[in-house]
Structure 1
Amino acid sequence: MKISVQKIALIGIFTALSLIIFMVEAQFPVMPIGGMKLGLANIVTMAAMLFIGRKEAGLVLLLRIVLAAGLYGTVVSFAFSLTGGILAYLAMYIAVSRVGENQLWVTSVFGGFFHNIGQLCAAAVISGTWAVFSLLPYLIISGILTGTLNGLILQRLWKSPLRKYSIKR
């Protein structure tokens, strides 16, 4: 795959931005239900899908997960981030091409929901019990709420003057 210097630079910028947002969010107090976060770095992944392309956004996501694990994480947190991130990415990859401009937030809701499913699957494998899925109702609600919030931020960003800088082809 041939990739332009411009795309390489933008992948680096989006990766750095998502890592910074992840690091800032990591400083927030832990929410009552284990592992629940706002997922603000996901806004950058979704923006990368719109501004530079879906495949490039996948690279941004993987780079952020690996770098964040190296800076902040453990093997377990890496497993959670990777499974949740991949499922969320796949859901958003499909959804972003099927929703209209006024429904971009829906893409984020799908991402939030599937991220939680991925993390629960990782938790079930690591803990050896399916009991972790008892958290599913709470995580569905949190995924919908945070997905909606992040999606509305993304939608506003996409409708801003920044849109003219999109290089996605």
Structure 2
Amino acid sequence: MSARVRKLTELGVLTAVALIIFVIELQIPNPFPIPGIKLGLANIITVYAVYHYRAVEVAALVTVRLLLGAVFSGNFMALIYSAAGAYLCLIGMLVLRRWIDEKHLWMASVFGALLHNTGQMAAALIMLRTPQLLLYYPFLLLSGCLSGAFTGLCAQLITSRLKKKHR
């Protein structure tokens, strides 16, 4: 199998896994009364991919996951908020990977989660023109720190296990 086909297959599998995680997470009721707060478990795959693939490849993975996620959830309006958050997060993590090594990728994940929430908030402010939404922002940032640390630690665990397997 050529290297190109292998990489495309790997990215396809990662996208499918991220989408499956996303669909499963949709079934978990949100225990918080604040819209936009969720674990974001599919981002485990994104964080892993940021450290193992080229930027354009990770952007393609994120784009396909966002589009298919909107189809499977039936919520196309959420696509605007998800995309704003996901792409700001992706850009930030791609920049951060220059300074934060793979052994500390959980830190990049925390920053990514904060950027994701910032992108979502910016999209909501632009779309809804309701400044009162900013009252949610501190809660989103707190939840982003916690969920970003969790997803980052999961991605770091996966990375270290895969390295041991390939030795």
Give the alignment's TM-score, normalised by structure 2.
0.90
Unmatched 5+ stretches in structure 1 = none
Deviations 1:40-81 (A, max 9, x none): 000001112223333211111110000011121323211111
Specify the SS of the correspondent of 1:158. Answer: helix
Letter in 2 for 1:61: V
* Structure 2 unmatched ranges of 5 or more: none
Give the match for residue 22 of structure 1.
22
Q: Name the CA distance, whole Å, in 1 between partners of 2:12 and 2:52.
A: 13
Deviation at 1:155, TM superposition (A): 1.2
State the distance in 1 between where 2:29 and 2:126 align: 26
Residue of structure 2 equivalent to 1:153? 154
Distance 2:11 2:164 in 1: 17
Change (3 A) 1:57 1:163: farther
Percent of aligned pairs sharing the same letter: 35
Please list the CA deviations of residues 94-133 of structure 1 after superposition, one character each: whole Å capped at 9, or x if unmatched. Answer: 1122112331111100111011011111111221122211
Q: Which residue of structure 2 aligns with residue 103 of structure 1?
A: 104
Are the aligned partners of 1:36 and 1:139 in contact in 2 as well (CA < 8 Å)?
yes
Moved more, 28-37 or 10-19: 28-37
Match of residue 73 from structure 1: 74
Question: Residue type of the partner of 1:63?
Answer: V
- 3-state SS in 2 of match to 1:28: coil
Equivalent residues of 1:51, 1:163 under 8 A apart = no
| Matching residue of 1:37 | 38
* Residues 73, 81 of structure 1: alpha-carbon distance in 2 compared, 3 angstrom cutoff: farther
Q: Deviations over 1:8-46 (max 9, x none)?
A: 111110110000000000100023111211010000011
**Structure 1's 119 and 73: CA in aligned 2 closer, same or farther, altered over 3 A?**
farther
AA partner of residue 30 (structure 1): N
Q: How far apart in 2 are the matches of 1:156 and 1:5? A: 26
CA RMSD of aligned residues (A): 1.7
Counterpart-to-counterpart distance in 2, 1:10 and 1:103: 23
CA contact (8 A) 1:31 1:37 kept: no
Q: Distance in 1 between matches of 2:45 and 2:88?
A: 16
TM-score normalised according to structure 1 size: 0.89
SS of structure 2 residue aligned to 1:55 = helix
Q: Distance in 1 between matches of 2:102 and 2:89?
A: 20
Q: Which amino acid aligns with 2:129?
A: G
Residue range with higher mean Cα deviation, 94-103 or 131-140: 94-103
Alignment of 1:51 with 2:52, yes or no, is yes
